[in-house]
């Protein structure tokens, strides 16, 4: 009888441990996706910004690469 109870407790422990780990993995994925979305938004904002100095630097870099 004690072996059966021990087995049941160990199974419950495994189930709850796996459930907790699954929640942590899901939260980690959500956090990573939020960071990725924020980085994409920053990149889009940087592309939309009109920066003549940046354009000159890019042109110079392109010209030097063509030599």
For residue range 11-59, what is the model confidence (pLDDT) as tens digits?
999 999 999 999 999 999 999 999 999 999 998 887 777 788 888 888 8
Q: Is the full-model pTM beyond 0.75?
A: no
- Separation CA 53–CA 59 (nearest Å): 10
Q: Measure the CA–CA gap between 48 and 55, rounded to whole angstroms.
A: 12
Specify the number of domains making up the chain: 1
The residue with tokens 């109870």 is: 5
Output Rg (C-alpha) for the chain, integer angstroms.
Answer: 27
Tokens of 9: 């407790």
Query: Where in the sequence is the domain holding 61, given as residue range(s)?
Result: 2-66
Residues 13 and 61: their CA atoms lie apart, in Å, by 60
Q: Residue 62 — very low, low, confident or very high, per pLDDT cuts 50/70/90? A: confident
Alpha helices in 1-67 (DSSP H): 2-48, 52-66
């Amino acid at each position: 009888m004690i072996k059966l109870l021990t087995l049941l407790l160990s199974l419950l422990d495994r189930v709850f441990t796996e459930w907790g780990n699954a929640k942590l993995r899901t939260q980690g994925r959500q956090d990573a996706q939020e960071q990725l979305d924020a980085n994409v938004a920053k990149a889009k904002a940087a592309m939309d910004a009109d920066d003549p100095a940046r354009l000159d630097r890019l042109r110079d870099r392109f010209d030097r690469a063509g030599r």
